[in-house]
Chains A and B, each alone.
Chain A
Amino acid sequence: MREGMPSAIAELERRIGEIWGVGERLGLRPLPVHFEVVPATVMYEIGAYGLPGRFSHWTHGKAYQVQKTLYDYGLSKIYELVINSDPCYAFLLETNTLLQNTLVAAHVMAHADFFANNAYFAETRRDMVDIASLHAERIEKYEFTHGKGEVEQLLDAVLSIQEHVDPAASETSTRRRAEQPRRPSTPYDDLWRLEERSRGDKSGGEERQAATTPAEPMRDLLLFIHDHSPILEDWERDVVAIVRTEMLYFLPQIKTKVLNEGWATLWHARIIRSLDLSPEEHVEFARLHASVLQPAGRRLNPYALGYELLCDIEQRYGTEHLFLVREVESDVSLVRNYLTEELVERLDLYLYERRGDELVVVDKDWKAVRDRLANELGGNHIPVIVVVDGDYRGNRELYLRHVWDGRKLDLPWAEKTLENVYRLWGRRVWLETRSDDGTDPLILSYHPREGHRQQR
């Protein structure tokens, strides 16, 4: 912010006050929000890392470079970023016009309301910014003690399976866990877990051995590896736990992307329209709002999809129902429950596939589009992989199963990922999936001595 800006800041502050008044009157109940006006560099850094002050890794550097390049060439600009925390941190780009910032503030207010009220966010840690900084410090410490290369390779492996966490797994993940008396849940549960861990370390190998097979197939790979890997050292387990904690924090955002953005778009429009703005600003707003809803090439625009869905829901079921949707739905349930034939038509949604070098539209049937959409959204683009056995063949080998839903795994990628799992498990790793047509089981396994194997 340069000289002469304070008056603009004062004006923005006045407007945000007005926005808050309107929003609350219309029924929004947001978390408190702390706005900060920042230069573009800070903006794309936070965008690349997901959280300010997060740990160092080259994949973040890659994301950072992409963001920076896109920004430098004027191809894409992040107007706004909101962090789900209490208070929420919202970042405004310093080059935004007053009207852009006004729109963004209204948009942010709706996000903050969504974070506060959507069921999927009920368990997220609102102190994640601090936690992430502590994580970053610990990882830096490990880099100092064990070497940067060592930590990087470990992170490469952990991040490669970071999507495979399960918020429901924390309590009853394994037999050992299940047998323990349940305590009432408190924010300090992780302290108990530390205690359990040190106790577990002291107890003999026999008990550990017995616990290495989950009572039922378990979706949380990171937790299972954290608890039962035969080879990881304590600091390595901590890195697994760090990645898992942060992923659990991001998971609700992955699950509700369309709904959350739709919600924010709906409310920024509604709030801005009720503000007392000049005709020029109303025109600028209309232009901006339209650009938010524009289709992006053939890619699905989550803002547009969410916005249209929510508008339609309000029309059909009323505003009260709209607030219910904001509370209980995720992207998948939203699409399953509310996408209609008219909406598919209006949004011009279709299915396409690759034919030779061309991408060709192959289907416009609304049910086919809806079903496929439900498979792509809300984290459903991630295959479900479960731990079946941590003591496979009585040899502490790790046996994973891909839960078949008709979609084929990318086998070369699966093999590469298995190498990463091996890095964390240290014994032969197995992955059961199915062959192309889905009828026969196909079992991949990896051990560095024997390389990759496939058996049918």
Chain B
Amino acid sequence: MFTLAIRRDDWSLHRKGAIDQARHMEKVKEAIKRNLADIVSEQSIITSDGKRLVRVPIRVLEEYRFRFDPEAGRQVGQGSGGTQVGDVIGRVGNGRGPGVGPHAGDEPGIDYYEAELTVDELGELIFEDLELPNLEEKRLRELESEAVRFTDIRKHGPFANLDKRRTLRENLRRNAWRGRARIGDFSNEDLRFKTWERDIKRESNAVVIAMMDVSGSMGTFEKYISRAFYYWMVRFLRTKYDRVEIRFIAHHAEAKEVTEEEFFTRGESGGTRASTAYELAFQLIREHYPPDAWNIYPFHFSDGDNWPSDNERCRELAEELLRCVNLFGYGEIRQGRYTYHSTLMHTLQRIGSPKLVTVTISEKADVYQALRRFFGPEVGREVARA
């Protein structure tokens, strides 16, 4: 006995699949957020052009259960004939093909799940609660980003803004009401016009001065870390603020302003005099960014191996900078040197200004912490309290 039918109903389940899938994606994002520290400093992301998809392995979403150790013991496999003892039938880990979202694990008995995100999506998660701390409304040159939004319909207005679709509908409605549903015999009462509102967003001027040590003592790791930090910082500023200027300064024994591209690609060598960078920053501020009109954020990344004779000069300049900036961030990269700080770090910390925020980075995962330390929601409050 059988019956046959074609399904035409509206399946309530249909929605359910989509809803549960959305919830699953939400959990994926939560999981990614918990792993951001590791993801942020991922080489493949920093060197990507930003359009690429990033694969993020998520173990948090595993559906735990009592199971046998998948690593232990042998499994049954099936070949297509003639398999011999000793044949290698696969590899663990990298035997995956091009990405299509979720993957079933290639490893025997191990399920894992990989999410794919664009760098922008990842950025959104990272930047969610980051902000330029201590942003002030400056009295001069407030930027207005203006947009026009059509929000309402009226019976009067300039003909350029005639809403043709609604006008036709009114005409049809009026004719139909009189017993003849047709379009024609337009009269003034049919006319409908779009009206608009001006959307004015006020934004304060802000400039970020990114300074990076490119001297010979900066090894691959140190350079990588400062670039990773600045990579995300630049993305963060461009995503969240329409009008933030960023100036790039690279320094060794002397400093010079470089383009963004040079900043991220160029390697230099030589000794280190951080004061030259501060001096150049100060000069930029004097010439282009008067503090009464600009919010100013200098950041400096270095391994701290500064010429000892230069530290005093650094302190003087830093103090001067601190008087006119909203926040001065100093990040020191000390791989494997734990809590030991450089003399530059000590010198700067002696200033004791709440606007000076310092960070020590000793491993890749710290980049995320540095971002949060400089742009996290607590920073603004701390500075404001002081």
Contacts and interface: CB of A to CB of B under 8 A. Distances in A.
A377 to B, nearest CB: 9
Interface stretch (A49-57, A240-248, A324-332): A49-57
Contacts of B2: 16-17, 20, 32-35, 109
B146 interface: no
A408 to B, nearest CB: 5
Nearest to B77: A298
A376 B88 contact: no
Contacts of B12: 53
Contacts of B11: 42, 45, 52
A376 B76 contact: yes
B108 interface: yes
B67 interface: yes
Contacts of B91: 357-359
Contact of A417 (B5, B66, B108): B66
A42 B66 contact: no
A93 to B, nearest CB: 11
A65 B7 CA distance: 22
A215 B108 CA distance: 38
A401 to B, nearest CB: 11
A125 interface: no
Contact of A347 (B66, B78, B90): B78
B4 A372 contact: no
Given A352-B89, A360-B87, A409-B66, A16 B4 contact: yes
Interface stretch (A156-164, A169-177, A227-235, A312-320): A156-164
Contacts of A350: 76-79, 83, 85
A410 B78 contact: no
Contact of A409 (B19, B69, B79): B69
A381 B93 CA distance: 23
B90 A295 contact: no
Given A16-B2, A20-B2, A402-B66, A359 B72 contact: no
B352 interface: no
A164 B8 CA distance: 38
Most buried by B among A12, A44, A161, A413: A413
Contact of A349 (B77, B86, B87): B77
A34 B5 contact: yes
Interface string B58-70: 0001111111111
Contacts of B107: 354
Contact of B75 (A46, A372, A402, A420): A372
A358 B90 contact: yes
A363 B76 CA distance: 10
B73 A353 contact: yes
Interface in B81-111: 81-93, 100-102, 104, 107-108
A357 B93 contact: yes
A283 interface: no
A295 B75 contact: no
Nearest to A369: B76
Contact of A58 (B23, B81, B86): B23
A360 B88 contact: yes
Contacts of B8: 1
A303 to B, nearest CB: 11
B77 A64 contact: no
Contact of A362 (B20, B22, B70, B74): B74
Most buried by A among B1, B4, B102, B104: B4
A409 B76 CA distance: 18
Interface residues of B, number: 63
B92 A357 contact: yes
A38 B68 CA distance: 38
A410 B20 contact: no
Given A357-B91, A364-B85, A410-B70, A35 B64 contact: no
A334 interface: no
Given A45-B17, A351-B74, A372-B75, A161 B66 contact: yes
Interface residues of A, number: 95
A102 to B, nearest CB: 12
A376 B75 contact: yes
B354 to A, nearest CB: 38
A358 B77 contact: no
B80 interface: yes
A383 B70 CA distance: 12
A32 B1 contact: yes
A312 B62 CA distance: 40
B75 A351 contact: yes
A373 B75 CA distance: 8
Contact of B76 (A12, A56, A163, A351): A351
Contacts of B86: 360-361
Contact of A161 (B21, B65, B87): B65
B21 to A, nearest CB: 4
B67 to A, nearest CB: 5
Most buried by A among B12, B22, B25, B75: B75
Interface of A: 1, 5, 9, 12-13, 16-17, 20, 32-39, 41-42, 44-46, 48-49, 52-54, 56-62, 64-66, 68-70, 73, 75, 87, 91, 94, 109, 152, 159-161, 163-164, 295-301, 304-305, 347-354, 357-364, 369, 372-373, 376, 381-383, 385, 402, 407-411, 413-414, 416-417, 420
23 contacts: A13-B4, A17-B2, A33-B1, A45-B14, A57-B20, A58-B20, A58-B23, A59-B63, A64-B17, A64-B20, A65-B24, A65-B101, A75-B100, A152-B23, A163-B66, A298-B90, A299-B78, A305-B78, A352-B75, A357-B92, A359-B92, A361-B77, A372-B75
Which 9 residue pairs are nearest across A and B when measured between Cβ atoms? A61-B20, A61-B24, A416-B64, A298-B77, A32-B1, A61-B21, A348-B79, A351-B74, A359-B90
Given A33-B3, A58-B20, A69-B101, 14 more contacts: A1-B8, A42-B7, A42-B11, A48-B17, A49-B17, A61-B21, A66-B102, A68-B21, A350-B78, A351-B74, A354-B108, A358-B91, A359-B91, A407-B68
